[in-house]
């Protein structure tokens, strides 16, 4: 049966009321029951008894509306927006004729348009929710009703029903396993939906019910279960079964939870205990939250401020009206009386106040919100259309499932990632091995032709065709009969707990509990040692084509403390041998002393494997005599039957026999990461984004993946493991970790004091700090060593939070789920957050879905940072919902995460493009759009305010009413939309190369309250110019005929024309990336203004509507006057020239990083040869540096054996309970080959790059190119602003120039400076993505370069790398090396 992969598990506890009897008032009863339920009672096959408890049905509902509630609920939600309420209020005002000087349709039409568009979008989204709900609720289950199986929809399954599950079916509800087609009531399940683990788990029914396999027996089963109430504990269940006057204890091992998939089991029967929202999966799913961006929240605040400003202006003008009416207006009462409702100047002022509120409301026009939605929609389509985020393998494109969070993608500081299926493919491959001191699996010539994949079929007809290996020397060693090689693979074929199923002759399917086991047994299979079958007492193999049966004497089972497993077997010749495999850290110390030399060689191999991020384990054996076996067997039998301390006695017995072993070798398994994961993590770290891994896997698995994807490195100062089981122990471990961080940080900083005079200053500059100053706003960044001047006497320690913020980040924190539960308690949460945020990497293991969400909420609460959660399974849904942004990976675990997410794609590596390109561009575009929008509307509206002082505060508008209507709809809407949709400061390729460009979004630098006030000030300044310059000029101007120009309509046309021209020129200056659409919209809008104005002022319209068009002929007569055009030109110059001057000085004196990147890009284009080079070409020659470091470091080894294993399988095998195989095969766990990032990272060129200059620890370099096939080695360096990476400044032809220019600009004499400048043309300005280009770095010292600009390699290094290059000393390029813990670039 096909496994259904599209079941949406995006469920949270809302119960859809069913149209059934006895379910009236279900929601209220259920909520009441949830408050009072202390235990649950369920009686099998008795619906009447169970329904009196009003348990929830198995129906789920994720939709928000139905046909009746949609309109009122949706309108209520929309009017919670401050702006919509504001415009509704204005609409009501405009309906009052005494105070409205504008038509009501100018507000109601755009408001209705906005509400309608939003309602249609919400209705569409909710329709798809209804559709997915129906898809789930209408799935079929076989329910035992009155002795026969009947097909029922999932939504109709009730608590107490007995349902039948078949192989590969999803579990419909939380079930108590009653019986199974497998012997002893066993069944196998996959829990990927719950905890992300894809390995099999075993569940077993209570012995008394395991015999109820017949439907008739099950139909008569009337047992009653009393258990705990619904909760979210996935690994715990406590209950009791009462049946036939006996009671039986129930545990989690007897339960099948909703979301699991039945595997390798023909059928099983279960009793529904929890249904629908009461299931543990639902209890771990959070409610869907309405997500809003920080810009949205800021805009709401600004709207309130603007409304306050509007009220203030209205009060000022109303007071002016009262004074004017009292002092001046009273003189005109005889022939200009007040309108009938007005009887005194105070009432006139009151009406004038509301009139001005209506006139001045365009400071925040409703078109702002329409434009924002259009821009966001455009950004969403760009994400959907991005071919570089399309996965051809699974034919899946990236999808923006929401249009409201795009700019928030440019502000992310924390990423919370699942492991299985998100970072990894969960595919294990046998990569390398060491046998008797000889290593196999190395690619001997990485620069040569790709080695051929070995074909095992001629040698071994039982070989797995999907197995990949390339080193033929190992196969030759097997063929020639090397005894050590044969014993090595014999161990792998015997020492495991794998089950084998042979569908047909030679067609083997291995059912491994963990992918590690499957990879090792498959490797032995291909090299001629084929595991065929097993019984409780025997193991049958085929060795080099010859069948051999071993007697299985004992299995010494694996557990997390032993970190090894052993088997004791007797071969056909009667010899007894113990085979052991496990973590090298525990196995090597149990070897016979004669293995010392071999152990040293093997340890070196293990170091190499570990440095490559492979999962390693060691293999050993021991021959046993009959006497030794008999003696040990008796002690083992006694320990096994002990009633107290059984585990300890068994461990002691195992320890006794696993001594004096002989070393065979070691294996190295690669847990296949998804393509590009290490590079993506490195680039995101450079962008000052912290990545936390939250996984349900075991600690060893998560840590190993951390090393593989370079989150953890052996160069880290220390990795802290928090594993306490009590509140006190966790608090103590966190405290010790903080104290250790502070101690190591202070020690390291103190050690840097010697010999650091010039270098320390350069590093300070690189970090953006001056003496006595501290960097703020990064929140600790990506970690790293920020150099600090140690004070003379140590001051008293500051508060822990402040002190932890200044800790360098070369630390990592690993915390287990049971410890995390205590760490997230209210009184300890802040301690955990401060400790974790001081670390460069954080890994949380064995966490429940709810804990994942709690971690995200803790960071949101205490760090006030934008968070992003990414995952691929149902266990990630609550985390995805809790984060500001949720990203779903459409992987192997269904589409639950995708359905709950805001964005989805198929590969983790696409995350860097989503954030660094689309996110940064969206944030940049939205900020520029908002700045310009507020500017143009204040420039437009404030003219009314100034005019009020010259029109008796009568609420007379400056412009023609049609100009007021069309200004934001036609004349200025399209250019700003084009900028908001298409603008970019640097190309996408540069955004990826320079991740530091991402930092302004994190610090919210481009649009904040300060930027808002600057825009407002510029708009007010423009309005002053646009009003007073035409007013001053036209007051004394005359036409050529001598007729004065000082009339209202001429002034209105002149001011309106000047306004449109000024704002058009302004947006032309603001646009950084011109497309054809930008040109058409900007100049087309300007042209449309004149076209429409001449049409509206024509005599034709006046004749048709004489009461509507009062400006007849005014456009022609006004714009024919030269003085008018001179006035417009003067106003435009006064408005624009200061902006141009300010921007020029800003770029010259204090450029932003994007300015620097654009400038150096121009330099690069001019200086380098236009030969077709890949982007990765600039990285050539670096690999050997990193490779030498990785190979030389004596890092810790990480055993990968059985990390996904569970204790107890050995006992299960020897008991014989699981010996009968089902006819349906488990999906194979055999390894499959795919290209690996390691193949790239391990390229050895055997040539060092002495011309590669080191980078200061405080800065980062261009990130690895995403389009090049040559990926640079990842450095472990980092800083508060982000990690550093190796980067050659020169192309290979410019090596000498690069070395000669490494001199300090502050210490270089003029001649040297001139030489540096001369060498600069040969340098490719592959500049670093941090730092600010200062005037001293870019202004020529008396030079005559065009525009006063000149650049040398040294100045670029100083300005962009953040350090002043020094002459090489003692054959070591760059500055003197700092302590090992600091960031280094080799």
Q: DSSP assignment of 1348-1368, as one string?
A: GB---HHHHIIIIISS-----
- What confidence score (pLDDT) does residue 1275 get? 35
Q: Residues 111, 86: contact at Cβ < 8 Å?
A: no
Helical H segments across 278-340, by residue range? 280-283, 294-327
Number of Cα atoms under 13 Å in the Cβ half of residue 741: 31
Number of Cα atoms under 13 Å in the Cβ half of residue 702: 27
Q: Which of 261-265, 316-320, 571-575 has the lowest mean pLDDT?
A: 261-265
Q: Which residue has the higher pLDDT, 1376 or 858?
A: 858
Contacts of 289 (CB under 8 A, 6+ apart): 881, 882
902 given a catalytic annotation: no
Q: Residues 800, 782: contact at Cβ < 8 Å?
A: no
Q: How far apart are CA 193 and CA 180, in angstroms?
A: 22
Q: Which residue has the tokens 């680039």?
A: 683
- What confidence score (pLDDT) does residue 737 get? 92
- What confidence score (pLDDT) does residue 82 get? 72
Q: Residues 818, 730: contact at Cβ < 8 Å?
A: no
Contacts of 1193 (CB under 8 A, 6+ apart): 607, 611, 714, 715
Give Cα 635 to chain centroid, integer Å.
53
How far is residue 270 from each of residues 198, 589, 1272, measured CA to CA in Å? 22, 48, 54
- What confidence score (pLDDT) does residue 297 get? 85
Write out the H or E segment, with its range, that includes residue 247. strand 246-250
Asked whether residue 1381 carries a pLDDT value surpassing 50, the answer given is no
Q: Which residue has the higher pLDDT, 117 or 1303?
A: 117
Q: How far apart are CA 902 and CA 858, in angstroms?
A: 21
Q: Residues 1038, 915: contact at Cβ < 8 Å?
A: no
Taking the CA atoms of residue 1302, residue 1307, residue 1309 and residue 1314 in that order, the dihedral angle to the nearest 10 degrees is 40
Asked whether residue 1066 carries a pLDDT value surpassing 70, the answer given is yes
Q: How far apart are CA 708 and CA 696, in angstroms?
A: 18
Q: What are phi and psi of 141, to 5 degrees?
A: -130, 150
Write out the H or E segment, with its range, that includes residue 511. strand 507-511
Confidence bin at 886 (pLDDT 50/70/90): very high
Asked whether residue 25 carries a pLDDT value surpassing 70, the answer given is no
Q: Residues 1036, 1046: contact at Cβ < 8 Å?
A: yes
Q: Which two tokens stand for residue 984?
A: 């970019």
The string of pLDDT tens digits covering residues 42-101 is: 999 999 999 999 899 898 887 888 889 899 998 988 887 777 887 888 888 888 877 776
Rounded mean pLDDT, 196-218: 81
Q: Which residue has the tokens 């029951």?
A: 33
Taking the CA atoms of residue 677, residue 1244, residue 1287 and residue 1382 in that order, the dihedral angle to the nearest 10 degrees is 80
Rounded mean pLDDT, 136-147: 87
- What confidence score (pLDDT) does residue 1219 get? 57
Asked whether residue 1366 carries a pLDDT value surpassing 60, the answer given is no
DSSP secondary structure code for residue 393 in this structure:
T
Write out the H or E segment, with its range, that includes residue 153. strand 148-153
C-alpha closest to that of 1278 among 1300, 1265, 1291, 1263: 1263
Rounded mean pLDDT, 257-277: 90
- What confidence score (pLDDT) does residue 1268 get? 37
Q: Which residue has the higher pLDDT, 1024 or 1366?
A: 1024
Q: Residues 492, 524: contact at Cβ < 8 Å?
A: yes
Contacts of 63 (CB under 8 A, 6+ apart): 126, 129, 130, 133
Q: How far apart are CA 806 and CA 294, in angstroms?
A: 26
- Biggest CA–CA distance in the chain, Å, is 131
Taking the CA atoms of residue 323, residue 952, residue 1060 and residue 960 in that order, the dihedral angle to the nearest 10 degrees is 130
Asked whether residue 1086 carries a pLDDT value surpassing 60, the answer given is yes
C-alpha closest to that of 132 among 830, 877, 1183, 935: 877
Q: Residues 869, 886: contact at Cβ < 8 Å?
A: yes
How far is residue 632 from each of residues 464, 553, 554, 621, measured CA to CA in Å? 38, 11, 11, 16
The string of pLDDT tens digits covering residues 1220-1263 is: 443 333 333 333 333 333 333 334 333 333 343 333 333 444 44
Q: Which residue has the higher pLDDT, 651 or 806?
A: 651
Helices 70-78 & 105-137 angle (0-180, nearest 10): 120
Confidence bin at 1141 (pLDDT 50/70/90): very high
DSSP secondary structure code for residue 1260 in this structure:
-
The string of pLDDT tens digits covering residues 693-736 is: 998 777 777 887 888 888 888 788 888 999 888 999 999 999 99
Asked whether residue 1301 carries a pLDDT value surpassing 50, the answer given is no
Confidence bin at 515 (pLDDT 50/70/90): confident
CA dihedral over 582, 588, 591, 594, signed as positive or negative: positive
- What confidence score (pLDDT) does residue 202 get? 82
Q: Which two tokens stand for residue 151?
A: 């097909």
- What confidence score (pLDDT) does residue 772 get? 34
Q: DSSP assignment of 798-844, as one string?
A: --HHHHHHTS-S-EEEEEEHHHHHHHTSTTTHHHHHHHHHTSSEEEE
Asked whether residue 433 carries a pLDDT value surpassing 80, the answer given is yes
C-alpha closest to that of 544 among 472, 667, 462, 429: 462
Q: What are phi and psi of 174, to 5 degrees?
A: -75, 115
- What confidence score (pLDDT) does residue 1008 get? 92
Share above pLDDT 90 across residues of the chain, in percent, rounded to a whole number: 33
Q: Residues 668, 432: contact at Cβ < 8 Å?
A: yes
Rounded mean pLDDT, 1304-1323: 37
Q: DSSP assignment of 690-747, as one string?
A: EEEEE-SS-HHHHHHHHHHTTSS-TTSSEEEEE--SSHHHHHHHHHHHHHHHHHHHHH
The string of pLDDT tens digits covering residues 770-827 is: 333 333 333 333 333 333 333 434 444 434 455 666 676 578 999 988 899 999 988 8
Q: Residues 233, 215: contact at Cβ < 8 Å?
A: no
Q: What are phi and psi of 844, to 5 degrees?
A: -110, 120
DSSP secondary structure code for residue 1285 in this structure:
-
Q: Which two tokens stand for residue 116?
A: 């309608």
Q: How far apart are CA 1202 and CA 565, in angstroms?
A: 9
Rounded mean pLDDT, 273-298: 80
C-alpha closest to that of 414 among 671, 684, 599: 684
Confidence bin at 1048 (pLDDT 50/70/90): confident
Q: How far apart are CA 401 and CA 128, in angstroms?
A: 12
Asked whether residue 33 carries a pLDDT value surpassing 50, the answer given is no
**Do strands 885-889 and 866-871 pair parallel, antiparallel, or not at all (unpaired)?**
parallel
Active-site residue, from 133, 418, 464, 1286: 418
Confidence bin at 1053 (pLDDT 50/70/90): very high
Helical H segments across 220-293, by residue range? 280-283
- What confidence score (pLDDT) does residue 727 get? 92
The string of pLDDT tens digits covering residues 322-381 is: 998 888 877 777 777 777 777 788 888 888 898 898 888 888 777 787 788 889 989 999
Rounded mean pLDDT, 1154-1172: 72
Q: How far apart are CA 506 and CA 463, in angstroms?
A: 9
Q: Which of 878-892, 1088-1102, 1295-1309 has the lowest mean pLDDT?
A: 1295-1309
SS3 233: coil
Q: Residues 871, 879: contact at Cβ < 8 Å?
A: yes
SS3 183: helix
Give Cα 1260 to chain centroid, integer Å.
21
CA angle at 216 for the pair 214 and 220, rounded to the nearest 5° = 120
Asked whether residue 1278 carries a pLDDT value surpassing 80, the answer given is no
* Range ranked top by mean pLDDT from 867-871, 1191-1195, 1265-1269: 867-871
Confidence bin at 392 (pLDDT 50/70/90): confident
Q: How far apart are CA 624 and CA 607, in angstroms?
A: 31
């Amino acid at each position: 049966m096909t496994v259904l992969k599209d079941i949406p598990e995006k469920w949270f506890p809302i119960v859809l009321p069913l149209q059934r009897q006895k379910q009236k008032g279900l929601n209220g009863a259920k909520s009441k029951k949830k408050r009072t339920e202390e235990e649950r009672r369920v009686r099998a096959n008795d619906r009447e008894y169970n329904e009196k408890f009003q348990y929830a049905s198995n129906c789920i509902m994720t939709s928000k509306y139905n046909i009746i509630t949609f309109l009122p609920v949706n309108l209520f939600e929309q009017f919670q927006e401050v702006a919509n309420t504001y415009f509704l209020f204005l609409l009501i005002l405009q309906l009052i004729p005494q105070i409205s000087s504008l038509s009501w349709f100018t507000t109601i039409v755009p408001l209705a348009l906005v509400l309608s568009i939003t309602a249609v979008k919400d209705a569409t989204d909710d329709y798809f929710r209804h559709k997915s709900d129906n898809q789930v609720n209408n799935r079929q289950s076989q329910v035992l009703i009155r002795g026969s199986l009947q097909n029922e929809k999932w939504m109709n399954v009730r608590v107490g029903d007995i349902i039948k599950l078949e192989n590969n079916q999803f579990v419909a509800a939380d079930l108590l396993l009653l019986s199974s087609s497998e012997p002893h009531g066993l069944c196998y399940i996959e829990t990927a939906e719950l905890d992300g683990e894809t390995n099999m788990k075993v569940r077993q029914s209570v012995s008394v019910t395991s015999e109820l396999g017949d439907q008739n027996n099950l139909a008569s089963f009337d047992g009653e279960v009393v258990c705990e109430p619904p909760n979210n504990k996935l690994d715990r269940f406590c209950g009791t079964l009462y049946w036939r006057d006996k009671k039986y204890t129930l545990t989690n091992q007897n339960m099948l939870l909703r979301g699991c998939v039945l595997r390798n089991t023909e059928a099983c029967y279960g009793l529904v205990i929890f249904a629908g929202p009461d299931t543990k999966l639902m209890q771990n799913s959070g409610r869907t939250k309405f997500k809003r961006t920080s810009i949205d929240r800021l805009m709401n605040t600004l709207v309130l401020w603007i409304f306050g400003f509007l009220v203030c202006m209205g009060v000022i003008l109303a007071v002016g009206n009262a004074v004017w009416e009292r002092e001046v207006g009273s003189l005109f009462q005889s022939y200009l009386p007040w309108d009938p409702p007005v009887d005194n100047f105070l009432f006139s002022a009151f009406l004038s106040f509301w009139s001005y509120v209506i006139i001045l409301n365009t400071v925040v026009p409703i078109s702002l919100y329409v434009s924002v939605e259009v821009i966001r929609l455009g950004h969403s389509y760009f994400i959907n259309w991005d071919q570089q985020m399309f996965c051809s393998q699974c034919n899946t494109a990236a999808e923006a499932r929401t249009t409201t969070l795009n700019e928030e993608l440019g502000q992310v500081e924390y990423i919370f990632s699942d492991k299985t299926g998100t970072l990894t493919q969960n595919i294990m491959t046998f990569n390398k091995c060491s046998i008797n001191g000889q290593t196999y699996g190395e690619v001997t010539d990485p620069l040569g032709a790709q080695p051929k994949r070995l074909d095992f079929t001629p040698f071994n007809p039982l070989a797995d065709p999907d197995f990949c290996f390339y080193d033929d020397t190992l196969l030759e060693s097997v063929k020639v009969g090397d005894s050590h090689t044969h014993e090595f693979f014999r161990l792998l074929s015997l020492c495991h707990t794998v089950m084998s199923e042979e569908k047909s002759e030679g067609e083997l399917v291995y059912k491994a509990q963990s992918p590690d086991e499957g990879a090792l047994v498959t490797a032995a299979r291909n090299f001629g040692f084929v595991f065929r079958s097993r019984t409780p007492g025997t193991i049958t193999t085929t060795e080099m084509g010859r069948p051999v049966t071993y007697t299985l004497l004992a299995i010494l089972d694996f557990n997390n403390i032993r970190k090894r497993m052993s088997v004791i077997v007797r071969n056909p010749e009667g010899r007894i041998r113990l085979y052991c495999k496990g973590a090298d850290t525990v196995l090597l110390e149990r070897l016979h002393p004669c293995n010392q030399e071999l152990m040293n060689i093997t340890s070196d191999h293990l170091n190499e494997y570990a440095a490559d991020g492979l999962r390693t384990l060691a293999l050993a054996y021991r021959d046993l005599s009959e006497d030794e076996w008999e003696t040990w067997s008796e002690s083992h039998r006694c320990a096994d039957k002990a009633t107290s301390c059984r585990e300890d006695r068994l461990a002691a017995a195992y320890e006794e026999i696993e001594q004096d072993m002989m070393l065979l070798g070691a294996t190295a398994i690669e847990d296949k990461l998804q393509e590009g994961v290490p590079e993506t993590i490195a680039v995101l770290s450079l962008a000052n984004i912290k990545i936390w891994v939250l996984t349900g896997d075991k600690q060893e698995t998560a840590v190993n993946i951390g090393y593989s994807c370079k989150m953890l490195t052996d160069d880290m100062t220390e990795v802290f493991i928090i594993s306490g089981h009590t509140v006190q122990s966790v608090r103590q471990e966190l405290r010790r970790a903080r104290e250790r961080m502070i101690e190591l940080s202070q020690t390291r900083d103190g050690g840097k004091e010697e010999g650091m005079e010039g270098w320390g200053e350069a590093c300070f500059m690189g970090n953006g700090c001056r003496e006595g100053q501290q960097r703020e706003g990064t929140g600790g960044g990506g970690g790293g060593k920020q150099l600090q001047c140690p004070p003379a006497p140590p001051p008293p320690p500051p508060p822990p939070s402040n002190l932890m913020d200044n800790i360098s980040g070369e630390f990592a924190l690993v915390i287990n789920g049971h410890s995390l539960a205590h760490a997230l308690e209210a009184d300890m949460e802040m301690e955990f957050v401060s400790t974790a945020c001081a670390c460069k990497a954080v890994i949380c293991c064995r966490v429940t879905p709810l804990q994942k969400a709690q971690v995200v909420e803790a960071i949101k609460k205490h760090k006030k940072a934008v968070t992003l959660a990414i995952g691929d399974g149902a266990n990630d849904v609550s985390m995805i919902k809790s984060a500001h942004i949720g990203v779903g990976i459409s992987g192997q675990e269904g589409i639950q995460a995708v359905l709950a997410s805001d964005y989805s794609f198929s590969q983790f590596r696409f995350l860097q493009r989503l954030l660094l390109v689309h996110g940064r561009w969206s944030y940049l575009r939205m900020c520029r759009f908002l700045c310009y929008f507020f500017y143009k509307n204040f420039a437009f509206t404030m003219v009314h305010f100034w005019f009020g002082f010259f029109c008796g505060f009568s609420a007379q508008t400056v412009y023609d009413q049609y100009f007021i209507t069309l200004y934001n709809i036609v004349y200025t809407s399209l250019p700003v939309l084009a900028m908001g949709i298409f603008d970019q400061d640097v190309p996408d390729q540069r955004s990826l190369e320079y991740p530091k460009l991402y930092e302004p979004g994190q610090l919210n630098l481009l649009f904040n309250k300060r930027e808002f006030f600057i825009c407002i000030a510029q708009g007010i300044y423009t309005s002053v110019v646009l009003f007073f310059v035409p007013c001053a000029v036209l007051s004394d101007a005359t036409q050529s005929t001598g007729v004065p120009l000082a009339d209202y309509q001429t002034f209105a046309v002149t001011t309106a024309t000047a306004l449109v021209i000024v704002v058009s020129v302004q947006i032309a200056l603001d646009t950084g990336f011109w497309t054809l659409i930008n040109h058409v919209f900007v100049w087309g809008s300007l042209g449309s203004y004149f076209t429409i104005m001449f049409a509206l002022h024509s005599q034709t319209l006046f004749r048709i509507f004489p009461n509507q068009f009062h400006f007849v002929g005014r456009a022609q007569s006004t714009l024919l006057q030269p003085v008018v055009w001179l006035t417009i030109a003067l106003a435009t110059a006064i408005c624009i020239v200061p902006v141009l001057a300010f921007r020029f000085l800003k770029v010259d004196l204090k450029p932003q990083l994007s300015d620097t990147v654009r400038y150096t890009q121009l330099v690069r284009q001019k200086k380098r040869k236009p030969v077709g080079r890949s982007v990765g070409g600039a990285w050539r020659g670096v690999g050997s540096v990193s490779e030498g470091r990785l190979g030389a470091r004596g890092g810790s080894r990480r055993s990968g054996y059985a990390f996904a294993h569970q204790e107890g399988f050995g006992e299960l095998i020897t008991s014989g309970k699981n010996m009968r195989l089902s006819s349906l095969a488990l999906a194979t766990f055999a390894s499959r080959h795919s290209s690996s990032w390691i193949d790239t990272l391990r390229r050895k060129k055997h040539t060092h790059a002495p011309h590669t200059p080191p980078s200061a620890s405080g800065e980062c370099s261009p990130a690895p190119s995403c389009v090049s096939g040559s990926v640079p080695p990842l450095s472990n360096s980092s800083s508060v602003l982000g990690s550093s990476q190796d980067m050659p400044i020169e192309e290979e032809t410019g090596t000498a120039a690069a070395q000669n220019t490494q001199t300090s600009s502050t210490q270089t004499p003029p001649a040297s400076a001139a030489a540096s400048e001369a060498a600069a043309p040969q340098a490719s300005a592959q500049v670093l993505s941090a730092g600010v280009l200062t005037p001293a770095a870019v202004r020529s010292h008396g030079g005559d370069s065009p525009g006063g600009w000149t650049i040398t390699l040294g100045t670029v290094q100083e300005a962009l790398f953040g350090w002043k290059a020094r002459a090489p000393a003692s054959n070591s390029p760059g500055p003197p090396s700092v302590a090992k813990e600091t960031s280094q670039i080799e």
